[in-house]
Every structure is written in structure tokens, then in C-alpha cells.
Chain A
Amino acid sequence: MKKILYIFFLTLLTCVSLPVRAAEKEGGVNVSELIFEHLGDSYEWHIAKGCVIPLPCILIEKGGVTTFMSNQIEHGQECKGYHIAAEGQYAGKIVNAQGERPFDISITKNVLELFIVCAILLSVFLGLAHWYKKHGYKKAPGGFVGAMEVVVGFVENDVIKSSIGHGYQKFLNYLLTVFFFILTCNLLGLIPIFPGGANLTGNIAVPLTLAVSAFIAINFFAPKGYYKSIFWPDVPLFLKAFPLMPTIEFVGVFTKPFSLTIRLFANILAGHVVILSLSSLVFITAQAGAGINSSMTVVGVAFSIFMNCLELLVAFIQAYVFTMLTATFIGIAHSE
């Protein structure tokens, strides 16, 4: 414990000396631009100054497919008639010479992160399945397999089974996939360097896809009673003849997955913003003099450490909540 505290304070101390140099180098930093750059997507993976991983750009327009590496369009360069728009509606995106946007399925930073998440999920769970096939169920697993088994068992029994109830097996694989997908995305997003760092669950496209899948899982597998309860619910006639209740129920069908999207998206995005802002305290206070800068650096680093710990918790909680709510909605749809 003593050792940990010692290391902690030593780290803080080095932080004190850092901002002085940062202040010397640049006149100031546009913090909001910096934060938005981290939150958003980009065509290359920026690790450190001078260390950039170029990623392939894939553009489809009028049936033709154009591919090139992202380092060919760096700094406003043009490649095969495409360049990154500097301003306007598509600022930061690849547009063609006329300023129109092609169908852009480039392997961006987020897409690569998505592939890394998929690779991790597949290797972990197919590896686990392989372990069980090899050893059978009578051998008690240890180490990583045992730890994963605890998590899988927890999600299966305490989240899915208890929320859906009877007939939960049909949705088990889907909900387990969703849980571990979100969890892996969230945790990888907290790692600031290469294999992680992309803001995947904080990008609206990912929670949106997950919510659409939840919408399908909730509505397309429900028994007939579920639809009756929406369009002709068991309430006094004047409430449904003038279709008040059906309208509310019908809107509810869409607000449920929508709330799932926004909850996950906003939580993760907010976490990233707070951590980045706290880290940026160093640069914001750079001009305010060494004394204020040093003290704010200590505060900023201490708080961002705290926020990172909190985000670890949030990473799990959001995966848990998304899975549990989807399971609950499925359970409600099936109980009618």
C-alpha cells in the first residue's frame, strides 16, 4: 500500500514539471477542438506526434470502388480525386472534387477498433468454447476461463434469466453477445493508447445498431398477446376507442430502444469528455503561471485518475444496464 502511494505521488510530481514545457512550446491549446477530435472518428490512427497508423480508405461512388491509404490524403492532399473537406457540411470527411460525399466505408479509427473488439470477442469466447470441448464439464476451470465463467454465469442467471423468466434460452446467445460486446467496447475505449482509445460506444452508430437489434429482439419474437396489448390494450373503451392508449403504447415501442441508445451513448461520451477535460486542465492553465498550472495539474491528474476508476465501473454498469433492460423489455413482451 505504501509503495502504491509512493508511486502515485511520484507520478503527480512529474506532472508538475510537465506543463511548464508544454506552456513553453505552444501559445495555447484549443481544448474543445482537441476533445472533439478525440471523441470523433478519423481516417488515420494518431498515436503520438510523428507516429500515425495509416488506414485504408474505401469509397464507393456510382458503382466504382476507390481505395487508397489515408496517409495519401494527409494535410489536404488530393488522391484519385478525393480530399478531406476542411470546412462546410462535411468538414473532416472525405469528399470528391465537387464537394459531394461518396458512400464512405473506409476503415477508420472506429472501424478498426470495432474489428479489434470483434477479434477479442471471437478469440475469447471461441477459445473458451474450445476449452470446454477439450476438458468436458467435469473439470473445474481456473484462471481466465474460470473468471469468464463467473461473468457468463452472472449475466445468464442474474441478468437474463431473472429478467426474462420462462423461455429465456431463445435470447440467451443474443443478450450475452450484446453484453460482452458493449463491455469490451467500453473497456477498450478507456485505454488511451493504440489497441484502445477509440470512442466506440460513445459514437451514435454503435449504440444505434445495438438498439435496433434490441428492437428486433423485443418486437419480432413476441407472442400475439403483445401486439394486442399495444393496439387494443385491456383498458376502458373510451381510452382505446379514441386511440390514446394505443398511441402511447405504440410510441413506447420505439422509445424503449431509443432510450437504450441514448443512455449508452451519453454515458460513455460524457465519461470521455470529463476525462479529456480534466487532462486538458494542464494545458488550459498553462498561461496562468507556473504556480497555478502546477497545482491545477496535480488536481487534474488526481481527478482524471479518479474518473478513470469511475469509468471502469460505468463501463460495466452500462453493459449491464443495456443487457438487463433489453432482457426486461423482452420479458414484458413475453408476459402478455
Chain B
Amino acid sequence: MNLLTPDPGLLFWMVLSFLIVFFLLAKFGFPVIVNAINKRKEFIEASLVSAKEANERLASIQEEGEKLLAEAKAQQKEIISAAMQEKQRILQAAQDEARTSAQQIVDDATARITAEKEKALREVRSEVATLAIDIAEKVLSEKMSNSAEQKKAIERMIEKL
């Protein structure tokens, strides 16, 4: 039994069947399989890339949202503080106005009161004068009937002058 001498019959069948198998597999077998595997590989890679992109986009959207929110908050703060200032200012102005108008009223009242007082005083004074004159007239008319008295009175008056 010679193991190293190839048997022509087996060699013949081997060449024939290997060629047939190779032809069939190379034509209908492996290209389909390899293509499918490679396509799936590409598909998976593309999917991974797009997933990464989507993730990034999501992250950026989130970031943007946060930025917007922060901005909105800052604006709100600003608006509120402006409103507060405005309120303060309006209040201040109202208070000032009220104070001035009150002062005005008080001043007016004081002036009028003073004027009235003056007027009243003047009237009282003139009344008192008139009354004094009247009284003096009456006193005089009653007391002057006595000449001695008159004399005394005149003297007293002279003395006083």
C-alpha cells in the first residue's frame, strides 16, 4: 500500500467535484453570504454613527434648552427688579406729591388763618377804638357837666402828656 502515490481515480473525482463545488459556491454561495455580512456590518456602523449623532444633537438641544431657561430666568429677574424699582419710584413720587400738596394745604390754611386773624384783630382793634371813643364820648358827656371836674380832668390829662 503506497500512501504517497495518488490514486488516479480519486484524483479524477477530486478535481471534478472540487471544481464543481468551487464553481457553484463561488457563483451562488459565498458572494451572497459575504455581501450580506458586509452590508450588515456597514448598516450597523452607519446606525451607530447616526445614533451617536442623534445623541449629540439631543445633548445640544438639552444644552440649548438649559441656556434658554437660564436666559429667561435672568430676564425675569431683570424685569422683576425693574418693576420693583418702578414701583418704588412711583411710590416715592406719590409720597412726594402728597407731601407737597399737604404742605401746600397747610401753608394755605396757615396763610388764610393768619390773614383772618389779622383781619379779625384789625376789626377788633377798630371796634375797640370805636367803642373807646363812644365810651369816652359818653364818659365825657357825663363827666363834663361839672366844671370843676372838667378842670381836674384837663389837668390830669395835661399831666399825663
Contacts and interface: CB of A to CB of B under 8 A. Distances in A.
A204 B32 CA distance: 33
A118 to B, nearest CB: 5
Interface in B13-48: 13-15, 17-18, 20-22, 24-26, 28-37, 39-40, 43
A231 B37 CA distance: 41
B1 A111 contact: no
Contacts of B26: 173-174, 177
A125 B15 CA distance: 20
A126 B24 contact: yes
Contacts of A106: 9
Given A126-B28, A129-B28, A137 B36 contact: yes
A205 interface: yes
Contacts of A269: 3
Mostly helix, strand, loop or mixed at chain B's interface? helix
Contacts of B32: 128-129, 132-133
Contacts, number: 127
Interface residues of B, number: 35
A126 B21 CA distance: 11
A36 B12 CA distance: 22
B21 A105 contact: no
A303 interface: no
A40 B1 contact: yes
A153 B34 CA distance: 8
B25 A204 contact: no
A121 to B, nearest CB: 6
A100 B43 CA distance: 63
A27 B142 CA distance: 200
A181 B21 contact: yes
Interface residues of A, number: 48
A153 B14 CA distance: 27
Interface in A122-137: 122, 125-126, 128-129, 132-133, 136-137
Residue of B5, B6, B25, B35 ringed by the most chain A CB atoms within 10 A: B25
Interface string A112-149: 00110010011001101100110011101000000001
A73 interface: no
Contacts of A104: 7-9
A118 B11 contact: no
A110 B33 contact: no
B15 A209 contact: yes
B10 interface: yes
A137 B29 contact: no
Contact of B21 (A107, A133, A172, A177): A177
B4 interface: yes
A208 B21 CA distance: 17
B21 A205 contact: no
A203 B14 CA distance: 11
A53 interface: no
Contact of B9 (A105, A152, A156): A105
B19 to A, nearest CB: 9
B31 A173 contact: yes
A332 interface: no
A115 B12 contact: no
Nearest to A176: B30
Contacts of B36: 132, 136-137
B4 A149 contact: no
Contacts of B5: 204
A140 B36 CA distance: 10
Residue of A115, A125, A137, A203 ringed by the most chain B CB atoms within 10 A: A137
A194 interface: no
A233 interface: no
A91 interface: yes
Q: Closest 9 A-B residue pairs measured CB to CB?
A: A173-B26, A125-B29, A129-B32, A132-B36, A205-B6, A137-B39, A205-B10, A137-B36, A205-B11
18 contacts: A41-B7, A114-B10, A125-B29, A125-B33, A126-B28, A129-B30, A129-B32, A132-B36, A133-B32, A137-B40, A156-B34, A156-B37, A173-B29, A177-B26, A203-B7, A204-B5, A213-B18, A269-B3
Given A108-B9, A118-B17, 10 more contacts: A104-B8, A106-B9, A118-B20, A137-B43, A153-B37, A177-B21, A203-B10, A204-B5, A208-B11, A210-B18
